[in-house]
Amino acid sequence: MLNELNQSNDIIKIVASNPLKTSCEYRKIVLQPMLLREEEYFQAELFKGTQVIHKNISAIKLSEWAENNLEGKYKQILVSLRNKDVTYLYSKGKTTRLVQSVAERKPILRANNRKKEYILNEGDYIPAMFDLGIFTKDAKVVAGMYDKFKQINRFVETVDDLLKNYDTNSSLTLLDFGCGKSYLTFIIYHYLTNIRHIQAKIIGYDLKTDVVEQCNVLARKYGYENLHFVVADVSKDVLYNEKIDVVVSLHACDTATDYALNFAIKHQVHYIFSVPCCQHEVNSDISQGDGDIGVLLKYGIVKERVSALLTDTIRAMLLEDAGYKVDVMEFVDFSHSPKNIMLRCVKKGRSKPHNAPKIRALMEKYHFNQTLYRLLYE
Q: Which residues bind ligand SAM (CB under 6 A)?
A: 178-181, 183-184, 205-208, 232-235, 250-253, 256, 277
Min. distance of Cβ 345 from ligand SAM in angstroms?
18
Distances in Å between the alpha carbon of 294 and those of 283, 288, 312? Answer: 13, 4, 18
Min. distance of Cβ 191 from ligand SAM in angstroms?
16
Distance CA 254, CA 239 (A): 19
Ordered DSSP codes for 110-175: SS--SPP-SSS-TT---HHHHHTTSB-TTS-BPTT-HHHHHHHHHHHHHHHHHHTT--TTSEEEEE
Reference 273, options 152, 377, 374, 180; nearest CA is 152
Please say which residue, 168 or 369, places its beta carbon nearer to ligand SAM: 369
Min. distance of Cβ 254 from ligand SAM in angstroms?
7
How many other β-carbons are positioned within 10 Å of the β-carbon of residue 111?
19
Min. distance of Cβ 205 from ligand SAM in angstroms?
5
Please say which residue, 29 or 179, places its beta carbon nearer to ligand SAM: 179
Distances in Å between the alpha carbon of 10 and those of 3, 59, 60, 123, 346? Answer: 12, 12, 13, 22, 45
Min. distance of Cβ 170 from ligand SAM in angstroms?
26
Distances in Å between the alpha carbon of 253 and those of 37, 51, 318? Answer: 33, 35, 19
**Terminal Cα distance for the chain, rounded:** 67
Please say which residue, 48 or 374, places its beta carbon nearer to ligand SAM: 374
Phi first, then psi, for residue 315 (nearest 5°) are -60, -45
Please say which residue, 123 or 178, places its beta carbon nearer to ligand SAM: 178
Min. distance of Cβ 188 from ligand SAM in angstroms?
11
Please say which residue, 69 or 151, places its beta carbon nearer to ligand SAM: 151
Please answer whether residues 331 and 346 qualify as being in contact, where contact means their C-beta atoms are separated by less than 8 angstroms.
no
Using Cβ positions, the residue closest to ligand SAM within the complex turns out to be: 180
Min. distance of Cβ 333 from ligand SAM in angstroms?
17
Please say which residue, 16 or 232, places its beta carbon nearer to ligand SAM: 232
Reference 336, options 145, 84, 138; nearest CA is 145
How many other β-carbons are positioned within 10 Å of the β-carbon of residue 54?
15
Please say which residue, 112 or 284, places its beta carbon nearer to ligand SAM: 284
Please say which residue, 162 or 277, places its beta carbon nearer to ligand SAM: 277
Q: How many Cα atoms sit within 13 Å of 16 on the Cβ side?
A: 25
Min. distance of Cβ 233 from ligand SAM in angstroms?
4
